[in-house]
């Protein structure tokens, strides 16, 4: 049998994690461009051997990761290493730098403020990165969470009272050679003895305790990071993207009784929960149920070429009102396009704890099952303070001018219900009407 030795095989290509050596620079518009052609964006395909293309891309991404983390730290965030463990005094302490860990980013006021915003991204992205395609084609801050963090925390001269937690469901593989947590994409790019070899084998050493997958990581965020910080006045807003949002929905559905007093609102980019699997629609009429909360204080932003914020079908599938994200092609780009509107809506919910959004059912979403669920919201006594109504909007939205079914879901038992007569295009108008009643 003929056997090749590693010395006989092609070497694994190497590219330095240095922008200038890679042939790129950052221009005055915060864009990554070629030194040889200042108008040209990153060139992925540089060789017919795909391994060269992958290694060059990873080297550039390494530069971007370092830059993004530095900018996030400049906004007032700091790195926290998970898992958190209890010390001898019963206090939670983070893992040591040389221990197996996954980094997240938190603001220093996490334990003292009354409002916490939690961002849970996709399990394929690096910490603080929305989408590398946006960073490469547009500019660095737009494709990362830097501008988002500035909006939440404020500038250095004028800080807000908000705290911010940026979870990291992507970097859950521990690379012992470099002593760092990496994504599955980076794992496939790690150095090999020869170019023909496959990626390094995974074992128990590559697993991060308490954070073995994105579901475990999200549970660890709630149980170990957020739980010790909450007090009577704490209110938490959640922004989740794809599986990040699904993990938060699954966790809260299973633990709603203990978290109900503290969750203020939820925004989802590319919602993945299902009303047939994850959400118990039979509890919709119970104002204390998670299903009722999802219907009243949660929004989903979906792939759509329509203008950002346009009402969209999806309630039947996801159990919450859905809107266009303004992004038509890539789910990873939704958060970059829609985070400002998400944050603005969460701000309005924070200012109006009693406000509940009207359920919006686009015509094509209305079937017999959905109609039955909405009928549960009706109250026979029209004079009852908590009564709900179903109205048909004949104006029609979009090109098909479909009828829209509107159900008022104001069912808060602790506060007087909010009565809004009409859904408007802007949520500010809804809240103004609510405050006026």
User: Could you read off the pLDDT of 173-183 as tens digits, one per residue?
Assistant: 999 999 999 99
Q: Write the CA distances from 80 to 86, 92, 221, 243, integer angstroms.
A: 15, 12, 11, 22
Whether residue 171 is predicted with pLDDT greater than 70 in this model: the reply is: yes
Strand ranges, E, within 183-336 = 235-241, 263-269, 298-302, 311-312, 321-324
pLDDT score recorded for residue 256: 96
Q: Token pair for residue 224? A: 């170990």
Burial bucket for residue 277 (CB in 10 Å: 0-12, 13-18, 19+): exposed
Res 228: pLDDT: 92
pTM of the model: 0.84
CA 44 to the chain's CA centroid: 27
Question: What pLDDT, in 10s, does the model give residues 347-387?
Answer: 999 999 998 888 777 666 666 666 666 666 553 333 333 33
Q: Could you give all domains of the chain from N- to C-terminal order, each with its CATH number?
A: 6-12+77-351 (3.40.50), 359-437 (no CATH)
Q: Residue 1: what pLDDT?
A: 64
In terms of Cβ atoms closer than 10 Å to its own Cβ (0-12, 13-18, 19+), residue 272 is buried
* Token representation of residue 39: 């108008």
State the pLDDT at residue 402: 37
Tokens representing residue 340 in the block: 């400002």
Q: Which residues contact 393 (CB under 8 A, 6 or more apart)?
A: 403, 404, 405, 406, 423
Peptide bond into 83 cis (omega under 30): yes
Q: Say whether pLDDT at 109 is over 80.
A: yes
Percent of the chain past pLDDT 90, that is, above it, reads 67
Q: Are 107 and 163 in contact (CB under 8 A)?
A: yes
What pLDDT sits at residue 437?
47
- Segment 104-124 shows an average pLDDT of 94
pLDDT computed for residue 394 by the predictor: 28
> Which tokens go with 73?
């730290």
Alpha carbon distance 34, 40 (integer Å): 6
Q: In what order do the strands lie in the sheet with 102-107?
A: 77-82, 102-107, 162-166, 115-120, 235-241, 263-269, 298-302, 321-324, 311-312
Confidence of residue 66 (pLDDT cuts 50, 70, 90): very high
Listed ranges 383-387, 400-404, 411-415; the one with the highest mean pLDDT: 400-404
Predicted confidence band of residue 87 (pLDDT cuts 50, 70, 90) = confident
- Specify the higher pLDDT residue, 19 or 361: 19
Query: Measured between alpha carbons, how far apart are the two ends of the chain, in Å?
Result: 86
pLDDT, mean of residues 416-425? 33
What is residue 36's predicted lDDT score, i.e. its pLDDT?
94
Model pLDDT, residue 185: 94
pLDDT at residue 369 in the model? 67
């Amino acid at each position: 049998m003929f056997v090749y030795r590693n010395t006989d095989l092609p070497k694994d290509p190497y590219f330095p994690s240095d922008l200038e050596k890679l042939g790129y620079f950052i221009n005055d518009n915060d864009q990554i461009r070629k030194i040889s052609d200042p108008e040209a964006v990153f060139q992925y395909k540089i060789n017919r051997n795909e391994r060269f293309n992958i290694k060059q891309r990873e080297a550039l991404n390494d530069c971007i990761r370092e830059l993004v983390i530095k900018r996030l730290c400049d906004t007032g965030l700091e790195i926290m290493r998970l898992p958190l463990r209890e010390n001898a005094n019963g206090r939670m302490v983070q893992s040591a730098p040389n221990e197996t860990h996954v980094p997240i980013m938190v603001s220093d006021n996490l334990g003292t403020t009354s409002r916490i915003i939690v961002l849970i991204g996709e399990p394929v992205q690096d910490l603080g990165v929305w989408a590398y395609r946006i960073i490469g084609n547009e500019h660095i801050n737009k494709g990362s969470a830097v501008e988002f963090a500035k909006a939440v925390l404020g500038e250095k001269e004028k800080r807000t009272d908000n705290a911010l937690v940026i979870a990291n469901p992507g970097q859950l593989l521990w690379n012992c050679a470099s002593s760092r947590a990496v994504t599955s994409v980076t794992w496939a790019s790690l150095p090999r003895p020869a170019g023909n070899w496959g990626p390094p084998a995974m074992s128990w050493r590559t697993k991060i305790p308490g954070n073995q997958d994105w579901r475990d990581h999200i549970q660890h965020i709630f149980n170990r990071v957020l739980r010790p910080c909450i007090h009577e006045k704490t209110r938490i807003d959640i922004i989740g993207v794809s599986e990040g949002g699904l993990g938060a929905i699954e966790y809260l559905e299973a633990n709603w009784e203990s978290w109900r007093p503290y969750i203020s609102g939820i925004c989802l980019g590319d919602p993945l929960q299902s009303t047939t699997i994850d959400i118990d629609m039979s509890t919709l009429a119970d104002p204390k149920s998670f299903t009722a909360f999802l219907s009243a204080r949660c929004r989903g932003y979906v792939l759509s070429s329509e203008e950002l914020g346009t009402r969209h079908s999806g309630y039947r599938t996801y159990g919450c009102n859905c809107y266009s994200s303004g992004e038509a092609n890539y789910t990873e780009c939704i958060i970059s396009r829609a985070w400002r509107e998400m944050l603005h809506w969460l701000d309005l919910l924070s200012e109006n704890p009693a406000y509940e959004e009207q359920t919006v059912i686009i015509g094509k979403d209305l079937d017999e099952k959905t109609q039955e669920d909405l009928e549960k919201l009706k109250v026979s006594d029209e004079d009852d303070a908590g009564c709900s109504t179903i109205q048909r909007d004949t104006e029609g939205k979009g090109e098909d001018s479909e009828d829209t079914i509107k159900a008022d879901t104001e069912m808060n038992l602790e506060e007087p219900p909010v009565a809004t007569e009409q859904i408007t295009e802007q949520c500010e108008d809804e809240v103004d009407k609510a405050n006026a009643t």
